Amino acid sequence: MQEMSSRLMTVRPDKMAALVERAARIKETLEQGTKKPYRDVIDVSWGDPQKAGMKPLTFVRQVIAACLYPQLLDGDNLPMDVKQRTQKILRCCDGGSVGSYTLTAGIPEIVESVAQFISQRDGVSADPENIWIHSGSQTSLTSILALMLSSEVSTKRGVLVPVPGHTTTPLSVMALGGVAVPYFLDEERGWELRVDELQRALVSARETCRPIALYVINPGNPTGHIQSRKSMEEVIRFVAENKLFLLADEVYQSSVYDTDSEFVSYKKLLHELGPPLSHTLELASFHSVSKGFMGECGLRGGYVELLNMDPTVMPYVQQMLQLLTTPPVVGQIALELMAKPPQPGDPSYLLFKRETELIRSTLVDNVKRVQQVLKELPAVSCQPIQGGGFAFPRLHLTPKAIRKAKEADMEPDMFYCTRLLEDTGLLLSPGCVYGQKEGTYHIRFSILTAADVMEELLRRLSAFHLQFMKDFS
Amino acid sequence: MGQKPITFLRQVLAMCAYPELLKDSAFPDDAKQRARRILEACGGQSIGAYSASQGIECIRQDVARYIEKRDGGIPSSPDNIFLSTGASDAIVTMLKLMVSGEGRTRTGVMISIPQYPLYSATLAELGAVQIYYYLDEGKCWSLDVAELRRSLQAAREHCNPRVLCIINPGNPTGQVQSRQCIEDVIRLAKEERLFLMADEVYQDNVYAEGCKFHSFKKVLFEMGPEYSSTVELASFHSTSKCYMGECGFRGGYMEVVNMDPEVKVQLLKLVSVRLCPPVPGQALLDLVVNPPQPDEPSYNTFMKERTAVLDALAEKARMTEEMFNAVPGITCNPVQGAMYTFPRITLPQRAMDKAKEEGLVPDMYYCMRLLEEEGICLVPGSGFGQREGTFHFRMTILPPTEKLKIVLQKISAFHQRFSQEFS
């Protein structure tokens, strides 16, 4: 089958593939009893809290279990509020079963809950008509991108994407026949988004495409940077001036560690700026249950909220979003529970509070530890991790190490990560996967881990790094 | 629709969601064992962790074994299995992969009339050329290879036909293709170098005497290496239909045969964009391909429930055909499989004129009137495609038997009233 969608061929192969494969093989040999200097593979290459030992919330899982198997409601083991929520949810499902198809935008009562969640967060009302639930936020993003990146026109359309930035979105853009135009975040300034850089990117974009959207990740992935209000305002004005669509990926909004930083949603800030911007700027905001204190990546619950869409476009938006069929019901339930957690006075509240507090303090401690350890290591520098799910330190590799990498036909940070995996069983990802300024090298690892996993990770990483720097001095 | 979920499936899923329940003595051991196994295979032993984009490996292995068993031992490799968010996700992904070219070289995709509208909608969105082939209403909606050839020939004038989509058992028509027919289709695919997409989500829903589900893969391999090593095939299945009916979980898979390794790399890229299929759906799929065995505690209840669902569907299929054919002006082909009936309705000329006045296609007008008068919602045949000048509606046979009987009676009465009104 040689004739195939040519768009896909332009998409670079997955750089992580070889590393991931090697990690799986090492895991196998360890399971078979082969002795290595380490007892297990620690995979922190994804922002996956539960994979890295963090526990799901009891209330969430109790409700889901009871929704799956309502016979549990007859027993005595579940708290009253779990039972009540379960019954409420099942009443909204066809035939009282989570196995039924739902409306494509999601169960209306759950969409309503999400709207209320947004309203409470921002102090600005959210209209359920503008909210669509999907199988994860990337699915929402892909469907919005599909609307914008029509293949009918002769000029390709472009989306400005951050570098460094996670790879899923540029891949989506390219697979849909669009151009992913990079704009570089400023490492020296804590990975700040600078409008002059956006301007440069926009101008250069116009040589190859018609730029139509700006994709922003806040808090940043992998950078962990949280945009200041000033920066966000500049972005909004830039987008308005250049008639771009703003795509705001805010899945890490609950993950703020730095006490001096504050997450503000683009919707809220836009509202604060008032008309005409607040009535005209086209915005799509994305969120999901995958991060934050929920950490339910595998359940696939995400949503998009659209603002100021051209009313003539809306019917097409609706049609397009219908094509995706029912979003997974278990994911919808998780969204419901994220939007409406237990309240003070509810039977489950104390446990819920304890568990979320533990998650929060674990992550704050993880970040402290990471920054502490990295500070002590030579040839490593790390911008403040204000929020998000990752550490993205810079490696100041020696010329000798860089040469060795080139000999092995690898990017220097990929070389580092390959050796790291072999010697310590740690699976991290190299900065070359996310993009970085020429001549700089980074590694990314998740900080959404249980405390003991983080300690072990840092121990192995430090030991390796010191040895590596020695070997290539 | 009132169909009860299968107890065993829900017990295992509940334990996967809330592993504390593994300590609960109310749950049988075989359910616990399955839950533990699934959790072991998940990152951090939780269904809340991402899985690999292609799906959890041990579940893909179980799916491969299931397929081997189903197809009389023909080997299936987990590497060729892609778990998906319902079968629709995999179908759309494959179409995205294959649509390319411009103008006369634009990819053409063959799809039946009538068909499940996911195909036409996706093809329209992708800008692919839709190549329609008519199913033969006079012969129980069977596939006619001569008709496939006809439409293919005509299509070659203006596009590059590359893909042939077959839904077997059919939606909305319910026909179960004969083995001979499947062989003929495979031969055609080989001759014309077409990629076969076999949508087999209704494979456990076969009711009619003398009808049997034959998987495209099985038939392909039984035709010998000349075919089995050359014809490119993707087969789709899901947890939404059959006896499970668990549509909301979005569990499904695709098996690819003879896919170019380079193409597989591209496919992996595409599926990575949506990160991973919902893990509860993957877990459910694992149970479907790994049901309780005769020596296990849950077996009896499981089989009882499964049989009840399938028997009820068979009875409803029979009853539907019988009741509709008793109404003058409604002709109903036997519902051989799947979950729908797609009867043909004869409409008086005056009704068609009235529809035109209202700005509606005649069968849409008919369905609107039925909805207004009886509160029964059917889908007009125009939504699925039909031969010019013919009209149909699609109805599911899923409501509980007693309720279905009432629905059938009401539709029959409505039809007679309607015909009378416009006579």
**What is the percentage of chain B residues whose pLDDT exceeds 90?**
85
So what's the pLDDT on residue A155? 85
Listed in sequence order, the residues at least 6 apart from B158 whose beta carbon sits closer than 8 Å to its beta carbon are B104, B129
Say whether B17 and A48 touch across the interface (CB within 8 A): no
Q: What is the C-alpha separation between A414 and A402, in angstroms, rounded?
A: 11
B46 pLDDT more than 90: yes
Check CB contact of A219 with chain B, cutoff 8 Å.
no
A143: closest chain B residue by CA = B274
Mean pLDDT value across chain B: 94
3-state secondary structure of B160: strand
| Residue B414, min C-alpha distance to chain A (Å) | 26
CB contact under 8 A, B249 and A9: no
Are the Cβ atoms of A14 and B274 closer than 8 angstroms? no
pLDDT tens sequence across B391-404: 999 999 999 999 99
Find the range with the poorest average confidence among A188-197, A345-354, B305-314.
Answer: B305-314
A154 touches chain B (CB under 8 A): no
Instruction: Determine whether the interchain pair A142/B273 forms a contact, defined as Cβ–Cβ distance below 8 Å.
Output: yes
Determine the Cα–Cα distance for residues A443 and B366; give it in Å rounded to an integer: 64
Rounded to a whole number of angstroms, the distance from the CA of A189 to the nearest CA of chain B is: 31
Q: What is the DSSP letter of A93?
A: S
- Do the Cβ atoms of B247 and A296 come within 8 Å? no
- The yes-or-no verdict on residue A324 having pLDDT over 80 is no
pLDDT at A12: 67
Residues 6 or more apart whose Cβ sits within 8 Å of residue B181: B142, B143, B145
What residues of chain A, 158 to 177, have a C-beta less than 8 Å from chain B?
Answer: 168, 171-172, 175
d(CA B79, CA B131): 31
> What's the average model confidence in pLDDT over B365-384?
95
Instruction: Please name which of B260, B279, B139 lies closest in space to residue A56, comparing C-alpha atoms.
Output: B279
- pLDDT tier at B388, thresholds 50, 70, 90: very high
pLDDT at residue A2, as a whole number: 56
Structure tokens, A152: 């009918």
- Report how many helices (DSSP H) and strands (DSSP E) chain A contains, helices first: 17, 14
Chain A residues 267-306 with a CB less than 8 Å from chain B: 295-300
- Report which DSSP code applies to A92: T
Does the pLDDT at position A3 exceed 70? no
- Check if A345 contacts B (Cβ < 8 Å): no
- Specify whether the CB–CB gap between B203 and B215 falls below 8 A: yes
Is B38:B57 a contact under the CB 8 Å cutoff? Answer: no
Of A117, A121, A145, the residue nearest A271 (C-alpha)? A121
Residue B380, both tokens: 């007009």
Q: How far is CA A294 from CA A119, A253, A352, A472, in A?
A: 20, 12, 11, 42
- Whole-angstrom Cα distance, residue B232 to residue B189? 9
| Two structure tokens written together for A249 | 């990926």
| Test the A interface: residue of B275, B286, B398 with most A CBs within 10 Å | B275
Where does the pLDDT of residue B325 fall: very low under 50, low under 70, confident under 90, or very high at 90 and above? very high
Residues of A in contact with B122 (CB under 8 A): 323
Per residue in A236-289, pLDDT (tens digit) is 999 999 999 999 999 999 999 999 999 999 999 999 999 999 999 999 999 999
Mean pLDDT of B358-369: 95
Read off the pLDDT band of A151 (50, 70, 90): low
* H or E segment and range at residue B235: strand B233-238
Q: Would the pLDDT of B150 be above 60?
A: yes
Q: Which of B5, B85, B127 sits opposite A151 (nearest CB)?
A: B127
Taking CA–CA distances from B19, the nearest residue in chain A reads A61
* Closest Cα in chain B to A330: B249
Three-class SS string for A283-306?
A: EEEEEECCCCCCCCHHHCCEEEEE
pLDDT at residue A327 above 90? yes
Chain centroid, CA B241 distance in Å? 7
Is some CB atom of chain B closer than 8 A to the CB atom of A138?
yes
The stretch A30-49 carries a mean pLDDT of 93
Name which of A59, A69, A290 to mutate to probe chain B: the one with the most chain B Cβ atoms within 10 A of its Cβ: A69
CA torsion sign for B117, B123, B129, B135 is: negative
Q: For residue range A278-315, what is the model confidence (pLDDT) as tens digits? A: 999 999 999 999 999 999 999 999 999 999 998 888 88
CA distance B378 to chain A (A): 17
Q: What pLDDT does residue A11 have? A: 66
- Give how far the C-alpha of residue A196 lies from the chain's centroid of Cα atoms, to the nearest Å: 25
**How far apart are the two ends of chain B, measured CA to CA in Å?**
36
Query: Across the interface, which of A11, A53, A135 has its CB nearest the CB of B278?
Result: A135
Classify residue A25 by burial, with Cβ atoms within 10 Å: 0-12, 13-18, 19+.
exposed
Q: Does B106 touch chain A (CB under 8 A)?
A: no
Number of CB pairs, chain A paired with chain B, less than 8 A apart: 192
- How close A351 comes to chain B (CA, Å)? 15
Nearest to A165 by CA among A143, A138, A139: A138
Best B269, B271, B301 residue to mutate vs chain A (most A CBs within 10 Å) = B269
Nearest-angstrom CA–CA distance, B312 and B337: 13
Interface check for A11 against chain B (CB to CB < 8 A): the answer is yes
pLDDT at B4: 86
- Mean predicted confidence (pLDDT) in B220-225: 97
Identify the pLDDT of residue A9: 67
Length, in residues, of chain B = 423
Give residue-wise pLDDT tens across range A419-451: 999 999 999 999 999 999 999 999 999 999 999
Interchain pair B250, A172: CB under 8 A: no
Chain A contact for B298 (CB, 8 A cutoff):
no
Q: What are residue B190's phi and psi, to 5 degrees?
A: -65, -50
- Residue B280's pLDDT band, with cuts at 50, 70 and 90, is very high
- Whether A68 sits inside 8 A of B248 (CB atoms) is no
Candidates A97, A327, A330; nearest CB to B5? A97
Tally of residues, chain A = 473
Helices A349-376 and A58-68: angle between axes, nearest 10 degrees: 130
Q: pLDDT per residue over A102-137, tens digit each?
A: 888 999 999 999 999 999 999 999 999 999 999 999
Residues of B in contact with A61 (CB under 8 A): 17-18
Residues of chain B with Cβ-Cβ distance to A153 below 8 Å are none
Find residues 21-60 of chain B whose CB sits inside 8 Å of chain A: 21, 24, 26, 42-44, 46-51
How do strand B233-238 and strand B195-199 relate by DSSP bridges?
parallel
Which residues of A fall within a CB distance of 8 Å from B26? 75
- Across the interface, of B14, B42, B97, the residue whose CB is closest to A8 is B97
Q: Do A99 and B18 touch (CB under 8 A)?
A: no
Helix (H) or strand (E) holding A181: strand A179-184
Cβ atoms of B43 and A50 within 8 Å: the answer is yes
One-letter amino acid of B272: S
A64/B17 CB distance under 8 A: yes
A298/B259 CB distance under 8 A: no
Instruction: Please enumerate in sequence order all residues whose Cβ is within 8 A of that of B291, keeping only pairs 6 or more positions apart, or say none.
Output: B8, B302, B306
**Percent of chain A with pLDDT strictly greater than 70:** 96
SS3 assignment, position A97: coil
- d(CA A307, nearest CA chain B) in Å: 24
Percentage of chain B beyond pLDDT 70 is: 100
Q: Residue B268: list chain A partners with CB under 8 A.
A: 14
Who has greater pLDDT, B245 or B170?
Answer: B170
Per the structure block, which two tokens stand in for B374?
């009886």
Predicted ipTM?
0.90
Contact A6 B100 (CB under 8 A): yes
For chain A, the average pLDDT equals 93
What is d(CA A33, CA A39) in angstroms, rounded to the nearest whole number?
Answer: 10
Q: Are B278 and A326 a contacting pair at CB < 8 A? A: no
Does A204 lie at the interface with B, CB-CB under 8 angstroms?
no
Q: Determine the pLDDT at residue B370.
A: 96
pLDDT value at A141 more than 60: yes
| pLDDT greater at residue A107 or residue A11 | A107
B contact residues 190-249, partner A, Cβ 8 Å cutoff: 195, 232, 240, 244-249
Listed in sequence order, the residues at least 6 apart from A284 whose beta carbon sits closer than 8 Å to its beta carbon are: A140, A141, A144, A245, A246, A247, A248, A304, A305, A306, A307
Query: pLDDT band at residue A146, thresholds of 50, 70 and 90?
Result: confident
In this predicted structure, the answer to whether residue B145 has a pLDDT above a threshold of 90 is yes
Is A326's CB within 8 Å of B18's CB? no
Q: Is the pLDDT of residue B199 over 90?
A: yes
Using pLDDT thresholds of 50, 70 and 90, give the confidence band for residue B244.
confident
Q: Is the model's pLDDT at A13 over the cut of 80?
A: no
Question: pLDDT band at B126, cuts 50/70/90?
Answer: confident
Determine whether the interchain pair A135/B250 forms a contact, defined as Cβ–Cβ distance below 8 Å.
Answer: yes
pLDDT at position B127 is: 87
Supply B403's token pair. Answer: 């309720």
Interface probe for A, chosen from B50, B163, B285 (most Cβ of A below 10 Å), is B50
For the segment A369-383, what is each residue's pLDDT rounded down to a tens digit?
999 999 999 999 999
Q: What pLDDT was estimated at residue B177?
A: 94
| A170 → chain B, closest CA residue | B273
Q: Which residue has the tokens 């998409």?
A: A11
Order of strands across the sheet with A302-307?
A131-134, A302-307, A283-288, A245-249, A210-217, A157-163, A179-184
**DSSP β-bridge partners for residue B129:** B108
Task: Nearest chain B residue to A103 by CA: give it.
Answer: B248
CA–CA dist A268, A124 (Å, integer): 7
